[in-house]
Amino acid sequence: MRLNIPFNHPRRESLLIREKLVDGFRKGIVAPEGLIAHGRGECFDYILGEKTQEFALRAIEAAAAAILLANHPVISVNGNVAALVPEYIVKLAEESGALIEVNLFYRTREREEAIKQHLLSHGAREVLGVGEDASATIPELFSERRRVSPRGILIADVVLVPLEDGDRTEALKRLGKFVVTIDLNPLSRTARTADVTIIDNVVRAMPLLVEKVRELKGRDREVLKEIISRYNNNEILQEALRFISHRLVELASRELRIRV
């Protein structure tokens, strides 16, 4: 942390998350482009009021049910996710039996390795998709982004891809995966392509998802299937957009100029 952020700073929470990401960047976990992508998320979070909304809670429930029903669930981890919520990736894997796979937009061997070490140091038992392990390929735009683990994403039925790129999400859908994402932008291609879109900050959503998986774990499979069947992702996206636009209209009706 380079700055002492005052306790009364209006955006303290957001600045602390940002510093966590910049730390990850200095450790070689986060790519420079990952910092830009984070900023885009920050802005949507600002509009959402930096709180988990009802539409996110409903998506979290569906996500938990899908992960618990899966035969082979995989958590796809990129640099930003590893930097922000390493402990919850590990907890989710433990609670649900999902495997963890590193999956980078800007893939370098150093960064793969740094992310793997970071996750192992937070208690992960195994981290797929690093080096030789990413030996399978899926059809995608950029050659380095095709690589996946033959023990992980290649054979997964449910994939959790928090903060994922649109091309990649579409590729996973074309392969027939059930895709769960966490994305603050309800208009992103990832948000619109996934089967379950949790429109929330990954920092708030991941602990809630772990908790929900714990809660639903003992339940009958029929109950979990019922949760999925009554879930409608298009409705969730529409609600998020309506929420955002109402908040902006409300803000727009006020005197906006700050006089100093």
Binding site for a second copy (CB under 8 A): 2-4, 6, 9-10, 18, 21-22, 25-26, 32-33, 35-44, 46-47, 106, 141-142, 166, 170, 173-174, 185-187, 189, 192-193, 233-234, 237-238, 241-242, 244-246, 248-249, 251-253, 255-258, 260
**Separation of alpha carbons 251 and 140, rounded Å:** 41
The distance of Cα 136 from the centroid of its chain, to the nearest Å, equals 23
Q: How far is the CB of 106 from a second copy (least distance, A)?
A: 7
Q: Which is nearer to a second copy, 93 or 198 (CB)?
A: 198
* Residue 202 annotated as part of some ligand binding site: yes
Q: Which two tokens stand for residue 117?
A: 């070490």
Structure tokens at 77: 């981890």
In whole angstroms, the minimum distance from the beta carbon of 173 to a second copy comes to: 5
201 is in an annotated binding site: yes
Q: Annotated binding residue at 196?
A: no
E strand spans, the chain: 73-77, 99-102, 136-137, 147-148, 158-162, 178-182, 196-198
103 is in an annotated binding site: no
b/e map of 177-191 (b: 16 or more CB within 10 Å)?
A: bbbbbbbbbbebbbb
Query: Whose structure tokens read 């059809």?
Result: 139
Report in angstroms the alpha-carbon separations of 129 from 83, 109, 159, 229: 17, 11, 14, 32
Shortest distance in whole angstroms from residue 210 CB to a second copy: 26
Tell me how far, at minimum, the Cβ of 113 lies from a second copy, in Å: 19
40 marked ligand binding residue:
yes
**Annotated binding residue 183:** yes
- In the chain, the N- to C-terminal Cα span, in Å, equals 30
How near is the Cβ of 33 to a second copy at its closest, in Å?
6
Nearer to a second copy, 176 or 218 (CB): 176
| Residue ranges at the known binding site for ATP | 18, 40, 183-185, 189-190, 201-202
| Residue ranges at the known binding site | 18, 40, 183-185, 189-190, 201-202
